[in-house]
């Protein structure tokens, strides 16, 4: 009998869920689902410290779920796999919540957002 660990292909799918498996990362995906955002925008909407958000962004970026654009002054994160929004929507439904109720909890910044998108011109 082969007692060596044989990873099944489903491990790769489980890894996706492990990567998504934190509330802060779900919040980040929801905010980025509305458009690209810099860390300061996420900071304002999630009400968390930049260091915490950056850590989660790093994990999501390494997984290929988010990617970055930059201009001279800012780095903007965006959803590199927009289909993840559907994963979150279905997971929300399975938990008894609607995507809309999640969106509403992130509708307004916790603190005034200083980002260029929120302060054009
Ligand atoms: Zn902003």
Spacing, Cα 118 to ligand 1 middle (Å): 4
7-39 pLDDT tens trace: 899 999 999 999 999 999 999 999 999 999 999
State the distance from the centre of ligand 1 to the C-alpha of 113, rounded, in angstroms: 5
pLDDT of amino acid 7: 85
Q: Is the pLDDT of residue 92 over 90?
A: yes
* 56 Cβ contact partners less than 8 Å away, ≥ 6 residues apart: 22, 24, 25, 28
CATH of domain 9-104: 1.10.10.10
Give me the pLDDT at residue 69, please: 96
**Cα-to-centroid distance, 32 and ligand 1 (Å):** 11
Q: Where are the domains of the chain?
A: 9-104
CA–CA separation, 18 and 109 (whole Å)? 27
Q: Band the pLDDT of 102: cuts 50, 70, 90.
A: confident
């Amino acid at each position: 009998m082969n007692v060596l660990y044989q990873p099944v292909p489903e491990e790769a799918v489980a890894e996706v869920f492990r990567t998504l498996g934190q509330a802060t990362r779900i919040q980040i995906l929801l905010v980025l689902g509305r458009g690209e955002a810099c860390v300061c925008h996420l900071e304002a909407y999630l009400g968390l410290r930049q260091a915490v958000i950056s850590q989660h962004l790093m994990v999501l970026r390494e997984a290929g779920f988010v990617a970055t654009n930059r201009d001279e002054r800012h780095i903007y994160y965006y959803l590199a796999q927009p289909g993840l929004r559907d994963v979150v929507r279905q997971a929300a439904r399975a938990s008894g919540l609607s995507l809309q109720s999640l969106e509403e909890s992130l509708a307004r910044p916790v603190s005034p957002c200083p980002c260029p998108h929120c302060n054009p011109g």
